Amino acid sequence: MDFRGQRATVIGLAREGTALARFLAEGGATVTVSDIKSREELSESIEALAGLPIRFVLGGHPAEILEADVVFVSPGVPLEIPILAEARKRRIPLSSETRLFAELCPAPIIGITGSSGKTTTTALVGRMLEKA
């Protein structure tokens, strides 16, 4: 995917944020990652991104991270935090790794979510598709 010329901020590094930052950077985006945790707390994720042109802003979310064309929010980040309110105020699009996947995936997608019953529902949908 070609993200050259695009400035992307990823808020929340752990788990999905690491994979998303890698994907965007490898696609040519100018990537900034922000997390409230310290460099020490995120050392494993930072090491996983070593060698990529990613700027890390750790220990908080200063307004400078909003110098972006899009802000990606990791699942564990509360949508009510002040920096996201400011992004909305500035009309900077908010997105997520899941939304980006849905936009880029060329195949039809069926999403199954919830706190219980996902395995059963997935099995039933799979059987229905096999029979279709």
Closest CA to 98 of 37, 42, 17, 29: 17
Q: What CATH number is associated with residue 99?
A: 3.40.50.720
The per-residue pLDDT for range 20-64, each reduced to its tens digit, is 999 999 999 999 999 999 999 999 999 999 999 999 999 999 999
Residue 115 lies in a domain: no
Residue 124 lies in a domain: no
Q: How many domains does the chain have?
A: 1
pLDDT of 1 higher than 80: no
* Host domain of residue 26: 7-107
Residue 63 lies in a domain: yes
Say which residues have a Cβ less than 8 Å from residue 80's Cβ, sequence separation at least 6. none
pTM: 0.87
Residue 99 lies in a domain: yes
The per-residue pLDDT for range 100-122, each reduced to its tens digit, is 999 999 999 999 998 899 999 99
75, 99 in Cβ contact below 8 A? Answer: no
